[in-house]
A and B are shown apart, each in its own frame.
Chain A
Amino acid sequence: MEFCGGHTHSILRYGLDEVLSPEIEFLHGPGCPVCVLSVESIEYALKLAKLENTIFITYGDLLRVPNPSGISLQTLRGEGRNIKMISSAMEALDTAIHNPDKLVIFFAFGFETTAPATAFLLRQAKALGLKNLKVISNHLLTPSILEFLFTKNGRYVDGVVGPGHVSAVIGANSYEKIAKTFEIPIVIAGFEPSDILEALIMLVERIRVGQAEVGLAYRRAVTFEGNTKAKSLLEEAFVVRDSFPWRGLGTVIRSGLAISKSYEEFDGERIWERPQVSEQIHGCICGKILQGKAKPLDCPLFRKRCSPQTPIGPCMVSSEGACISYYRFKLA
Chain B
Amino acid sequence: MCLAYPYRIIEITGPFTARAEVNGVSTEIYTSLLPEEPKPGDWVLVHVGFAIQKIDEKSALETLKLYYELLSESSD
A225 to chain B, nearest CB (A): 10
Q: A168-B4, A194-B67, A195-B63 are in contact. Are A113 and B33 (CB under 8 A)?
A: no
Inter-chain contact B35/A89, CB cutoff 8 Å = no
- List chain A residues, Cβ under 8 A from B60: 220
Q: B16, B33, B64: which contacts A227 (Cβ < 8 A)?
A: B33
Q: Is B47 an interface residue (CB 8 A)?
A: yes
For chains A and B in complex, what number of residue pairs have CB atoms within 8 angstroms? 109
Q: Mark A154-180, 1 if CB is under 8 A from B, else 0.
A: 000000000111101100000000000
- List chain A residues, Cβ under 8 A from B49: 87-91, 117
Inter-chain contact B50/A117, CB cutoff 8 Å = yes
A227 to B51, CA, bound (A): 11
Inter-chain contact A120/B32, CB cutoff 8 Å = yes
Residue of B nearest to A142 (CB): B2
A109 to B1, CA, bound (A): 9
Q: B2, B67, B70: which contacts A113 (Cβ < 8 A)?
A: B2
Q: Is B7 an interface residue (CB 8 A)?
A: no
* Stretch in contact with the other chain, from A28-36, A47-55, A143-151, A264-272: A28-36
Q: Is A219 an interface residue (CB 8 A)?
A: yes
A17 to chain B, nearest CB (A): 15
Q: Mark A225-242, 1 if CB is under 8 A from B, else 0.
A: 001111001000000000
- List chain B residues, Cβ under 8 A from A66: none
Q: Is A245 an interface residue (CB 8 A)?
A: no
Inter-chain contact A34/B1, CB cutoff 8 Å = yes
Q: Mark A9-27, 1 if CB is under 8 A from B, else 0.
A: 0000000000000000000
B26 to chain A, nearest CB (A): 14
List residues 1-56 of chain B with CB under 8 A from any CB of chain A.
Answer: 1-4, 16, 30, 32-35, 45, 47-50, 52-53, 55-56
B75 to chain A, nearest CB (A): 13
Residue of A nearest to B29 (CB): A88
Inter-chain contact B30/A90, CB cutoff 8 Å = yes
Residue positions of B touching A, CB distance < 8 A: 1-4, 16, 30, 32-35, 45, 47-50, 52-53, 55-56, 59-60, 63-64, 66-67, 70
18 more A-B residue pairs beyond the given contacts A89-B50, A110-B2, A195-B63, with a C-beta to C-beta distance below 8 A: A34-B1, A87-B49, A110-B1, A113-B52, A116-B33, A117-B47, A120-B32, A165-B45, A168-B53, A169-B52, A191-B3, A219-B56, A220-B55, A221-B45, A227-B53, A230-B33, A233-B33, A319-B3
